[in-house]
Amino acid sequence: MKHLDEYRDRELAQRIIERIHASSKKGIRIMEVCGTHTVSIFRNGIRDVLPSNIALISGPGCPVCVTATEEIDKSIKLSREHDVIITTFGDLMRVPGSKSSLQKEKANGADIRVVYSVSDAIKIASNNPQKRVVFLGIGFETTAPTIAAAVLEAKSEGIKNFFVLVLHKLIPPAMEALLSGGDLKIDGFMCPGHVTSIIGASSYVPVTQRYHIPCVVAGFEPIDILQAIYMLVEQLEEGQAQVEIQYKRGVTFEGNKNAMAIMERVFDRCDTVWRGLGVISKSGFKLKVQYREFAAEDSFDLSIPKAKEHPGCMCGEILRGVVTPAECPLFRRTCNPGHPVGPCMVSSEGTCAAYYKYQA
Amino acid sequence: MCLAVPMEVLNIDGNRAWVSAGGTKREVRLDVIDQRPHIGDYVIVHAGFAIHRIDQEMAKETLKMFEEMFSNEAPG
Ligand code: SF4
């Protein structure tokens, strides 16, 4: 397929790998922020071909994984309202809350529907005027503009039975939180391609300057990832800390101004809680005053008992990159993709699921 | 979840377009994209929305980077 196959060429991959081996001298730790990168790195065996002085650390970039237990609990509470249809991206279904999951609630009769796009949720709302349709708005900057567009549509179409539980999370504040946390040494970031399609590579300039750390925005094919690693190696060997774009076919420096304007029209920034990282200042969205009629938290009682984490699950540390799944005592024992204990095992992009599937 | 794939634009109808890749056809919305695509363009599609129009020149630049990277090497 065009714009994909060119970036899967074995011979080219081999030449880049040789280049990386020839150039890389220092011991370096590169974090791939994005879960889609984590999966591609495993699927293509990229760790195995790198010199031993380069470590790849998986970061918090799986939207399902960073959804907090309390957010799942609120979604479950909503699903128990008699006149509510919950609409959600499928990944969220199996994420364990304190006591239940959306999947279990569905088995018990709750009307929960998996959708491919927020547009489907709007259609469900139009077709079920006697019901209240709540969309669970998870995802990073890639997804948030699509939810914002749906809110604008609902407003202009006068749809009154559509609500969003806004749980979006923003990547650059999380990167800063990781760096300022101090328990993790990272020398370079491989930044997420599709988040950056929206926000633009310029969004990482403050991070590179404040922490003197190079950021390279990468695509998702093996050549993309290898080239991004090579670009990071070159910067690190020369002591530079710049923002560079490897994924030029998908990303610009300025970003998608239309998408950013739509988000700004609909959302205000707010503090939000991330699984594993806690509350990060200005790392989330809430609906602006003009659009509060669509805010699930204004129309429903979302008070819940204090959320309970599963004892022993180390997803928090995994999401911060401070431990690997093998260090979790439950990994492969009580916790596996058939019986996930934590979200990092539920989502196919979760670090635990990727290790489980690809590492013998 | 930020999975998004390049798809070819087959048809445009107002705020919507039909796109295809690898035998899959889909209708996508154009509210979020910043540069309106033309028929035959490739767009990156995420969750039912086109989010980016692929600039052919930019795509070529990456491949050019490789040429430069290897230009001082003996062919091998
Ligand atoms: S292996 Fe399971 S229990 Fe352990 S951190 Fe991963 S998801 Fe949590």
Per-residue pLDDT tens over the stretch A134-155 = 999 999 999 999 999 999 999 9
In a domain, A143, yes or no: yes
State what percent of residues in chain A have pLDDT above 70: 100
Stated pTM of the model? 0.93
Query: Between 2.30.40.10, 2.30.30.140, 3.40.50.1000, 3.40.1030.10, what CATH number should domain B5-71 receive?
Result: 2.30.30.140
Pick the closest to residue A96 from A63, A78, A73 (CA basis): A73
So what's the pLDDT on residue A182?
A: 74
Average the pLDDT over A217-244 and give the result.
96
CATH of the domain at A271: 3.40.50.11750
Ligand 1 binding pocket includes A328 (Cβ within 6 Å): yes
CB contact, 8 Å: B12 with chain A? no
CB contact, 8 Å: A26 with chain B? no
Q: Which amino acid is at B42?
A: Y
Which residue in A has a C-alpha nearest to residue B8's C-alpha?
Answer: A2
Ligand 1 binding pocket includes A356 (Cβ within 6 Å): no
Q: Which amino acid is at A105?
A: E
Residues A256 and A154 in one domain: yes
Mean pLDDT of the residues in chain A: 94
Average the pLDDT over A230-245 and give the result.
97
Domain end residue (candidates: A299, A324, A345): A299
Residues of B in contact with A117 (CB under 8 A): 47-49
So what's the pLDDT on residue B2?
A: 67
Burial A17-39 (b: 16+ CB within 10 A, else e): bebbeeebeeebbbbbbbbbbbb
CB contact, 8 Å: B9 with chain A? no
Rounded Cα gap, residues B21 and A233, in angstroms: 34
In a domain, A270, yes or no: yes
Residues A264 and A346 in one domain: no
So what's the pLDDT on residue B70?
A: 76
Rounded Cα gap, residues A68 and A284, in angstroms: 13
The answer to whether the CB of A319 falls within 8 A of the CB of A277 is: yes
Query: By alpha-carbon position, which residue is closest to atom 3 of ligand 1?
Result: A313
Average the pLDDT over A58-86 and give the result.
95
Domain ranges for chain B: 5-71
Q: How many CA atoms lie within 13 A of A336 on its CB side?
A: 6
Domain that holds residue A193: 1-67+138-299
Query: Is A126 exposed, middle or buried (CB count within 10 Å of its CB: 0-12, 13-18, 19+)?
Result: middle
Rounded Cα gap, residues B61 and B49, in angstroms: 26
Query: Is A200 exposed, middle or buried (CB count within 10 Å of its CB: 0-12, 13-18, 19+)?
Result: buried
In a domain, A186, yes or no: yes
Whether residue B75 is predicted with pLDDT greater than 70 in this model: the reply is no
Per-residue pLDDT band for A161 (boundaries 50, 70, 90) equals very high
Residues A214 and A351 in one domain: no
Q: Work out the number of other CB atoms within 10 angstroms of the CB of residue A281.
A: 12
Residues A199 and A328 in one domain: no
Ligand 1 binding pocket includes A95 (Cβ within 6 Å): no
Yes or no, beta carbons of A146 and B32 under 8 Å apart: yes
Whether residue A191 is predicted with pLDDT greater than 70 in this model: the reply is yes
Per-residue pLDDT band for B73 (boundaries 50, 70, 90) equals low
Average the pLDDT over A73-90 and give the result.
97
Residues A194 and A260 in one domain: yes
- E strands within A44-168? 54-61, 84-88, 112-114, 132-137, 162-166
Residues A145 and A250 in one domain: yes
Q: Which amino acid is at A319?
A: L
Distance of CA A51 to the CA centre of its chain: 28
In a domain, A146, yes or no: yes
So what's the pLDDT on residue B22?
A: 87
Average the pLDDT over A332-350 and give the result.
91
CA A316 – ligand 1 centroid, Å: 9
In a domain, A95, yes or no: no
What DSSP line would sit under A93-112, residue for residue? GG---SS--HHHHHHTT--E
Give me the number of domains chain A comprises.
2
Per-residue pLDDT band for A80 (boundaries 50, 70, 90) equals very high
Rounded Cα gap, residues A266 and A4, in angstroms: 34
The answer to whether the CB of A246 falls within 8 A of the CB of A216 is: yes
Q: What is the pLDDT of residues A32-44, one digit of tens each?
A: 999 999 999 999 9
Whether residue A193 is predicted with pLDDT greater than 60 in this model: the reply is yes
Rounded Cα gap, residues A245 and A260, in angstroms: 19
Yes or no, beta carbons of B48 and A140 under 8 Å apart: no
In ligand 1, the atom with minimum distance to the C-alpha of A352 is 6
The answer to whether the CB of B44 falls within 8 A of the CB of B52 is: yes
In a domain, A75, yes or no: no
ipTM of predicted complex: 0.91
The answer to whether the CB of A272 falls within 8 A of the CB of A280 is: yes
Whether residue B74 is predicted with pLDDT greater than 60 in this model: the reply is no
In a domain, A265, yes or no: yes
In a domain, A162, yes or no: yes
The helix (run of H) or strand (run of E) holding residue A346 is helix A343-346
Q: Work out the number of other CB atoms within 10 angstroms of the CB of residue A159.
A: 18
Q: What is the pLDDT of residues B2-57, one digit of tens each?
A: 678 899 999 999 999 999 998 889 999 999 999 999 999 999 999 999 999 998 88
Ligand 1 binding pocket includes A177 (Cβ within 6 Å): no
Q: Residues with Cβ < 8 Å from A283, sequence gap 6 or more?
A: A169, A170, A173, A174, A177, A271, A272, A274
Distances (CA, A) of A353 to A188, A247, A278, A331: 24, 26, 22, 10
Residues A340 and A221 in one domain: no
